């Protein structure tokens, strides 16, 4: 099949990427162009940030986060990296090495938070708190340190590389349960709040996992291909599988599902006017809905 854009210029060039959701086949150069324009448009449409902002990208070492870090800098944004070394055996060691190398290639600053030093490595926390789901503990810890580090290192934006598949898998779960409270917060931009929370943005929320993987691959970026060993059997992976079946039958469903949610349901259920009172953790002074925040609570349970 020929590249659709080349065709309009009367050039016959083989397409290497097929995007049924957009009825589009593209060559390497035009896919990269299409992808980058999509990210740029998303950033502008949702007023995520401008070239004046100081952005910290949360980098795990996977295809999405390394691709995001790369594309933001290519588009001229001011984006450094933040990695939380979770201490998950080989997986974390390899991830860290890849990220460190990559940061030198693109010549951007990289901050590393070593969870072993801050609390304990994830496998050890899991062992001591066996009743709590690992992904849930790990998520809480990552959110805490990402927000804290962004403020402390002098940045005002935290960018994460959640892609469309990640977002709709969460949306799908919250919809199957009609969890209105969670649905009312599922927006690609969470605004900064006083000096408690930094602005959190998801510039990849309109691109699928496949599109993101192709972009990273075509740019020759080396990333960690293994999944986290603790993610096996996660409900979100099953939802992704099911959504994959639906997309196969009705191409374009994924992006329409999320876009229409943002356009039609979200405005009906979001509480933008609500002025919330921010409490502070009595131990670390970070924002918390309880007297002691979730991370200090984990530390206490581990006698740290």
- Residues in contact with a second copy by CB under 8 A are 175-180, 235, 238, 242, 245-246, 249-250, 253, 256-257, 260-261, 263-265, 268-269
CB of 169 to a second copy, least distance (A): 13
Nearer to a second copy, 123 or 252 (CB): 252
How far, in Å, CA of 256 to CA of 240, rounded? 16
Cβ contact 54:156 at 8 Å:
yes
- Across the strands, what pairs with 84? 113
209-218 helix and 28-45 helix, angle to the nearest 10 degrees: 120
How far, in Å, CA of 298 to CA of 280, rounded? 16
Cβ contact 32:218 at 8 Å:
yes
Nearer to a second copy, 181 or 275 (CB): 181
> For the chain, what's the residue count?
304
Nearer to a second copy, 172 or 215 (CB): 172
CB of 45 to a second copy, least distance (A): 18
CB of 185 to a second copy, least distance (A): 15
CB of 246 to a second copy, least distance (A): 6
Nearer to a second copy, 33 or 241 (CB): 241
How far, in Å, CA of 230 to CA of 94, rounded? 16
CB of 222 to a second copy, least distance (A): 35
First vs last C-alpha separation in the chain: 60
Q: Which pair of structure tokens corresponds to residue 14? A: 């083989």
Nearer to a second copy, 107 or 245 (CB): 245
């Amino acid at each position: 099949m020929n590249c659709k854009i080349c065709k309009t210029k009367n050039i016959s060039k083989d397409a290497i990427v097929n995007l049924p959701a957009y009825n589009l086949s593209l060559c390497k150069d035009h896919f990269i162009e299409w992808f980058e324009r999509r990210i740029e448009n998303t950033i502008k449409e949702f007023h995520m940030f401008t070239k004046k902002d100081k952005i910290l990208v949360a980098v795990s070492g996977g295809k999405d986060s390394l691709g995001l870090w790369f594309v933001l800098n290519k588009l001229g944004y001011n984006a450094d990296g933040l990695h939380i070394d979770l201490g998950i055996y080989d997986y974390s060691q390899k991830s860290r090495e890849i990220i460190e190398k990559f940061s030198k290639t693109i010549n951007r600053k990289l901050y590393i938070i070593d969870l072993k030093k801050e609390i304990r490595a994830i496998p050890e926390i899991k062992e001591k708190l066996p009743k709590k789901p690992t992904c849930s503990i790990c998520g809480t810890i990552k959110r805490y340190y990402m927000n804290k580090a962004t403020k402390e290192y002098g940045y005002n934006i935290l960018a994460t590389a959640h892609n469309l598949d990640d977002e709709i898998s969460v949306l799908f779960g919250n919809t199957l349960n009609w969890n209105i409270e969670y649905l009312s917060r599922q927006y690609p931009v969470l605004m900064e709040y006083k000096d408690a929370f930094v602005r959190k943005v998801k510039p990849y929320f309109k691109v699928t996992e496949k599109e993101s993987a192709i972009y990273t691959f075509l740019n020759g970026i080396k990333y960690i291909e293994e999944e986290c060993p603790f993610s096996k059997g996660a409900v979100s992976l099953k939802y992704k599988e099911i959504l994959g079946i639906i997309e196969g039958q009705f191409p374009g469903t994924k992006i329409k599902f999320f876009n229409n949610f943002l356009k039609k349901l979200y405005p009906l259920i979001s509480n933008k006017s609500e002025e919330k009172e921010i409490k502070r953790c009595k131990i670390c002074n970070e924002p918390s809905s309880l007297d002691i925040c979730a991370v200090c609570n984990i530390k206490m349970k581990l006698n740290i």
